[in-house]
Structure 1
Amino acid sequence: MNRTMITATNTLAQLQKQMDIVSNNVANIDTNGFKRREANFTDLLFQQFNNGPGAPGAGDAGRLTPNGIRQGTGAKLAISKIVMAQGNLKTTDRPLDMALTAEGQVFRVLEQNDNGSAIRYTRDGAFYLTPISQNETMLVTGNGYPVLDENNNPITINAQASNFALSETGRLTVDVPGGGTASYDLGISYVNKPQFLEQKGGNLLGLPENMADLGVEAEEILTELNGPLRNQIGIAQGVLEQSNVDLSKEMTELINLQRSYQFQSRSISMADQMMGLVNGIR
C-alpha cells in the first residue's frame, strides 16, 4: 500500500466519525433541550522532504514556493465539541414544563442503573410526578430519573399538592393540604467547560470517567448555582426549549462530507490504477 492509500484510508475513517456526529444531530432535531455537537479536525504527522540543491537558501533567489515537499498522512478528529447555544422556546402552558433561558445552565438529575447512580445534567425540562408512596410523589424526568434540589437530593412532593409556581431563581412552590405551602430549589449548574461533558444517552450529559488523566476537577467543569449564585439562574415555566439543531446547516455539512468521502475514495482508486500501471511495465 503506497502513501496515497494510507492517507486516504486514515481520512475516510475520521470522516465516518464526523458523519456519525452529524447524523446524531439530525436524529435529535425534535428532542427537547438537545445540544448539537460539531467536529473539529487536525492534521496527522507529515514528512518533510528537502529536495533543494545545496545548502538551504542557496540558489533560491526569487523562489515563491517553500523549499521541499511536505507529505502528510491524513487528518483526524481532534475534538467533538458540544454547542451550548440557546434553542427556541415552545409554549406548552403545562406547569411542570420548565425551560432554562440562560445559556450554559443545566438541570441536575440522578441517573440510576445496574452500575449504581450518578449525577447527570440535562436541558430537558419536561418534568412529571411519579408516586413513591400513598402520600408522596417524586419529580422526575420523562425517563423517570429523579430531579435533584440544590443539595442534590431527590425532590419529593405531597401527593395532594396543587398550584405549581416557579420563581425566576428556580424555586418551585406548591400548595399543600391544610392551607400551607412547600418550596423546593431546583438543582441547576452552570457549565464552564462544555468540551469535557460526555453524552450519556437519554438526553443526559455527564462528567468524563477519566478526569484524573485529563488533569481537570469537577469544579472546573461545572459550577453549582446555589445560595447567592441562584440570582444568575434564568428559567421560565410553561415552556420547553427545543433543540439547537439547524437542519439546513446539518444537511449542508452532510453534502460536504459526501464530497470529501468521494474524493478520498477516488484517491484510493487512482493509486490502485497507478500501481497497476507500474506493475504492468516489462
Structure 2
Amino acid sequence: MNRTMITAQNTLTQLQKQMDIVSHNMANIDTTGYKRREASFTDLLFQQFNNQTLPQLETNRLTPNGIRQGVGAKLAQSQMVGSQGSVKTTERSLDFAFTTEGQYFKVLEQGENGSSIRYTRDGAFYLTPLSPNETMLVTGSGHPVLDENNNPITINGPIKEFSLQDNGRVLVSMNNGSTVEFNLGVVQVKKSQFFEQKGENLLGLPENFAELNTSMDEILTELNGPLRNQIAIQQGALEQSNVDMSKEMPELITLQRAYQFQSRSISIADQMMGLINGIR
C-alpha cells in the first residue's frame, strides 16, 4: 500500500467522525436545550525531505525549505458550543428556560455504579408520585431534579400551582392554602469542554476526571447564596436547541464531498499500482 492510500484511509476515518457529529446536531434540532458540537482538525505526523544537504545552499529561497509529506488529518477536538438558543413560550407552569448562557439545572441520574449528578438545560419538568401524598419533581426522562443542596425536590400534599420567584426560587401553592418554597439547583459552567454527553440530554464529567488534575471550581460554580442573583430563568417557556440547519446542511454536504474525494484518491492510487505492476 502506497502513501497516497494510507493518507486517504487515515483521513476517511476522521471525516466519518465529523460527519457523525454534524448528523447528531441535525438529529437534535428539536431537542430542548441541546447544545451543538463542532469539530476541529489537526495534522497527523509528517516527514521532512530536504532538497539540499547544507542549509547555506537554501539562501534567498522564497518557499519553505524542503518538502513536508504528511499522512492525513485527525479529529483534534469536539467542542460544545454553548450559545443561547431561542426561547419558546409554552405557558406551562413546570417549563423553565434559562435566558443566559452557561447555566444548567442539576439532576440526579441513577446508574449501575450508583447515583451521579448531571447537568441539563432542558427545563421541561414533571411530577411523579412517590406515595399517595408525596410527589417528586423530575425531568422528562424521570431523573430527580435537585435543589441547591443536591437533594431531590419532593412536595407533600395536593398542589394547586407553581410560580417562579426571583433567583430561581419556586413557590408552590397548596390546595389547603399553605405554600412551599424551594431553590432550584443551578450551576454556572466555565469550561464546558470538560463535559461529556451522557445521553437523555444530560451532561456530566468524564469518568477519569480525577486524573485530569483539575478542580471542580475551575469548571463550574454553584450558584448558591449571594450568587443566586446571577440566575436568569423564565417560567412557562423552553429554550430551543442552538442548531442552525442552514449551517449544518452545507457543512454535511462539504464533508460528503471530501469523503468522496478521499475515496477517489484510493481508487486512483490502486489504478496506478495496477498499471505499474502490469509493465513487462
Whether TM exceeds 0.5 here: the answer is yes
Which residue of structure 1 lines up, in the alignment, with residue 105 of structure 2? 107
TM-aligned CA deviation for residue 177 of structure 1: 4.5
Which residue of structure 1 lines up, in the alignment, with residue 33 of structure 2? 33
Q: Give the 3-state SS of the residue equivalent to 1:169 in structure 2.
A: helix
Structure 2 CA distance, aligned partners of 1:128 and 1:198? 25
Which residue of structure 2 lines up, in the alignment, with residue 97 of structure 1? 95
TM-aligned CA deviation for residue 15 of structure 1: 0.5
Which residue of structure 2 lines up, in the alignment, with residue 140 of structure 1? 138
Structure 2 CA distance, aligned partners of 1:40 and 1:121? 25
Structure 1 CA distance, aligned partners of 2:98 and 2:237? 9
TM-aligned CA deviation for residue 57 of structure 1: 3.0
Structure 2 CA distance, aligned partners of 1:281 and 1:190? 68
Which residue of structure 1 lines up, in the alignment, with residue 237 of structure 2? 239
- What is the TM-score normalised by the length of structure 1? 0.96
Which residue of structure 2 lines up, in the alignment, with residue 16 of structure 1? 16
Report the AA paired with residue 274 of structure 1.
M
TM-aligned CA deviation for residue 215 of structure 1: 2.1
- What is the TM-score normalised by the length of structure 2? 0.97
**Does the alignment pair 1:85 with 2:118?**
no
Task: Quote the sequence identity (%).
Answer: 71
Which residue of structure 2 lines up, in the alignment, with residue 58 of structure 1? 57
2:265 to 232, 257, 267: 267
TM-aligned CA deviation for residue 101 of structure 1: 0.8
Contact 1:106 1:188 in 2 (8 A): yes
Which residue of structure 2 lines up, in the alignment, with residue 173 of structure 1? 171
Question: How many matched pairs?
Answer: 280
Contact 1:211 1:217 in 2 (8 A): no
Contact 2:119 2:203 in 1 (8 A): yes
Structure 1 CA distance, aligned partners of 2:96 and 2:16? 36
Report the AA paired with residue 42 of structure 1.
T
Contact 1:111 1:145 in 2 (8 A): yes
Q: Give the 3-state SS of the residue equivalent to 2:10 in structure 1.
A: helix
TM-aligned CA deviation for residue 276 of structure 1: 1.5
Structure 2 CA distance, aligned partners of 1:79 and 1:17? 11
Which residue of structure 2 lines up, in the alignment, with residue 67 of structure 1? 65
Stretches of 4+ aligned residues off by more than 6 angstroms: none
Q: Give the 3-state SS of the residue equivalent to 1:152 in structure 2.
A: coil
Which residue of structure 1 lines up, in the alignment, with residue 182 of structure 2? 184
Q: Give the 3-state SS of the residue equivalent to 2:132 in structure 1.
A: coil
TM-aligned CA deviation for residue 18 of structure 1: 0.5
TM-aligned CA deviation for residue 180 of structure 1: 2.3
**Unpaired runs of 5+ in structure 2?**
none
Contact 1:109 1:145 in 2 (8 A): yes
